[in-house]
Amino acid sequence: MIMELKHIYKDYLQGKMTVPILKDISLSVEKGEYLAIMGPSGSGKTTLMNVIGCLDKPTSGSYFLNGKDIFSCSENELSDTRLYNIGFVFQSFNLLPKQSALENVYLPLIYAGISKKERIELATKALERVGLGDRIHFKPTQLSGGQQQRVAIARAIVNRPTILLADEPTGALDSSSGKQIMELFQTLNDEGMTIIMITHDADIAAHAKRLAIIRDGILTEKGGTSDEKAITHSN
């Protein structure tokens, strides 16, 4: 088991009123899985992604990643977990506009204390892995949207993370570029990468091998039949 959430609740205070966002969510992911979590706007999927990505803590519940109790970690330990265990891919790419593709990709390696020579080698290999070996010195403005997302994916995998966590990875792309990104995700998963993808798009979610649906803060998992089985509120 690479990741396990147990009985996760997340509440926010609005004035004197408590607003529940995540409601008794339990979810396990094995190494090498390809999971899509699908839900409409306001369903709680972004909050759940932030919990999985160690960007936010729930009100209650437990979270184990690689056997480590995430909610007992210090802020420094959480930073290290995000750096070494989770690769993030966002809808908006989040690239530095004045830096080359190579420089964008090796940014996490600077934080990891890797020497410049090794940073260049690892970042170049990551860009080659996503099909951009001939674009390493291009800046984001010189790349298409699909190519920019490939740079973002190279940056996400350069530290060899345990999990690739993607938030609406095709949301800013045309259908052709989106298809290419999904093909890349499939290749990465075939090579053993664990992928958790957050999306509102059923067509994109269909590329994953496993599907969970979040609605009104409650998570259900779609199995091999047309029935959905609740994986929350378990005793």
Residue 44 class from Cβ within 10 Å (0-12 exposed, 13-18 middle, 19+ buried)? buried
C-alpha span between 112 and 220 (Å, rounded) = 37
Q: What is the mean pLDDT of residues 128-143?
A: 96
Q: How far apart are CA 131 and CA 229, in angstroms?
A: 39
Please determine, looking at this structure, whether the domain spanning 3-230 carries the CATH number 3.40.50.300. Answer: yes
**Could you give the CA distance from residue 139 to residue 153 in angstroms, rounded to a whole number?**
15
- Write the pLDDT tens digit of every residue in 54-101: 999 999 999 999 999 999 999 999 999 999 999 999 989 999 999 999
Residues above pLDDT 70, as percent of the chain:
94
Give the model's confidence band at 225: pLDDT under 50 very low, under 70 low, under 90 confident, else very high. Answer: very low
What are the DSSP calls for 148-204, one per residue? HHHHHHHHHHTT--SEEEEESTTTTS-HHHHHHHHHHHHHHHHTT-EEEEEES-HHH
Q: Position 35: which residue type? A: L
36 and 205 Cβ atoms separated by less than 8 Å: yes
Pick the closest to residue 57 from 45, 40, 75, 39 (CA basis).
75
d(CA 155, CA 133): 13
Q: In the predicted model, what is the mean pLDDT of residues 115-120?
A: 96
